[in-house]
Structure 1
Amino acid sequence: MIGKLKGLVDSFGDDVVLIDCGGVCYEVFCSGRTLQALPRVGESAVVFVETIVREDFIKLYGFANEAEKSWFLLLTSVQGVGARVALAILSVLSPSELSSAVALQDKAMIGRANGVGPKLAVRIVTELKGKVPAIGAIDAGTLGLQSALGDGVASSNVSDAVSALTNLGYSSAQASSALARVVAKEGEDTPTEKLIRLGLRELSQ
């Protein structure tokens, strides 16, 4: 099986890139994020690859890093999530945002991807909870806070602070990450108002 390709970018399609490896061009299907991260035509590129073999085809799926590949494998393990839907999700959410969405059971965040309806979004966050890849995901403090929020066991002051920051326009991932750092320094019993103030300071850095 092919695990990684190193070669020159030959050309791009809507959801595919051709990688020239010593004169042999491999067709690799990628998320929008990966395609945007790749260098220009003629330049050298490295793509992590997952090979899927079926009776009627062999397809290569490429990723910018191992975290994205790990999430692809997890997503496609959920019933109803094929390779195309998994790439659609990875096109709109980074690995850290996916980790946050699953930890927080944020089905609306998952539902932003094309082809993901409400029922499938619920299935994804439900089945993948607790299965967040360790590679390049999010730090333990942030994940711990997000898991507590998702389980409804986070202290009310922290939950209120996260809610306040998201109401100000920050994503749940940004808010929980900032507050995880604040709580690590100040403690969980810090008043809500102070958590919000310090959280905003973290987000402005």
Structure 2
Amino acid sequence: MIGKLKGLIDSFGDDHVLIDCGGVCYEAYCSSRTLQALPCVGEAGVVFIETIVREDMIRLYGFATESEKAWFNLLSTVQGVGARVALSILSVLSPSELSSAIALQDKAMIGRANGVGPKLAVRLLTELKGKVPTGAGIDAGTLGLQAALGDGVAPGAISDAVSALTNLGYSSAQASAALARIVAREGEGIPTEKLIRLGLRELSS
């Protein structure tokens, strides 16, 4: 089983990369995020590999991080999500953004991916709620706050502060992560106005 490829970047396709490992070129299908993160042709690169074997096909899927690979495997457990849709989701959402979308039950955020319609978005959020893979790039405190927000049980001041920060142009993932760090430092019971000020300071630092 191939777990990781280390070699020279031979060439890029629209949805894959060829990696020259000692004269043998492996074709790995990747998200657009991974393709953009890889070095230029002729330079050394590394991708983590998931191999999918079917009766008529053996295909390698490459990822910039182990976290992205873990999310690919978790996404693929949802009915209606094949490798193509999983890569499409990972092309528009980083692992931490995906964690946030699921914790916050944000249909619009996950629906940005090609191939994810409203019904599939709901199924993804429902089936993956609470199933963040290890090393997914989000800390337990942030995830806990986001889950509370998604369930409507977060304190009102925090919910109001998240709403205010998102109205100022920050994503719900960024806002909730910043407020989680503030609550961890300062404790609970902070008024909404102060949370917003501290949140803006945290997000601009």
TM-score bin (small chain): over 0.9
Take 1:204 and 1:28, find their aligned partners in 2: how far apart are those partners?
A: 37
> Quick check: 1:158 aligned with 2:145?
no
- The SS at the match of 1:50 is strand
2:147 aligned partner = 147
- The SS at the match of 2:176 is helix
* 1:97-116 → structure 2 map (5 Å cutoff): 97-116=97-116
2:63/2:69 contact within 8 Å kept: yes
- The SS at the match of 1:99 is helix
Shift of 1:151: 1.3
Take 1:136 and 1:81, find their aligned partners in 2: how far apart are those partners?
A: 19
1:36 aligned partner = 36
Report the more deviating stretch, 151-160 or 64-73: 151-160
1:120 aligned partner = 120
2:99/2:136 contact within 8 Å kept: no
Take 1:75 and 1:185, find their aligned partners in 2: how far apart are those partners?
A: 33
Take 1:182 and 1:39, find their aligned partners in 2: how far apart are those partners?
A: 36
Cα deviation 1:111-148 (Å, max 9, x = unaligned): 00011101101110110011101214211111111011
- The SS at the match of 1:27 is strand
1:101/1:107 contact within 8 Å kept: yes
TM-score by length of 1: 0.98
1:100/1:146 contact within 8 Å kept: yes
> Quick check: 1:12 aligned with 2:12?
yes
Shift of 1:46: 0.8
Take 1:136 and 1:102, find their aligned partners in 2: how far apart are those partners?
A: 12
TM-score by length of 2: 0.98
Equivalent AA in structure 2 for residue 156 of structure 1: G
**Unaligned 5+ residue runs, structure 2?**
none
What is the number of equivalent residue pairs in this alignment? Answer: 205
2:70/2:136 contact within 8 Å kept: no
* 1:35-74 → structure 2 map (5 Å cutoff): 35-74=35-74
Take 1:184 and 1:54, find their aligned partners in 2: how far apart are those partners?
A: 47
Shift of 1:186: 2.2
| Structure 1 stretches of 4+ moved >4 Å | none
Take 2:162 and 2:134, find their aligned partners in 1: how far apart are those partners?
A: 24
1:165/1:175 contact within 8 Å kept: yes
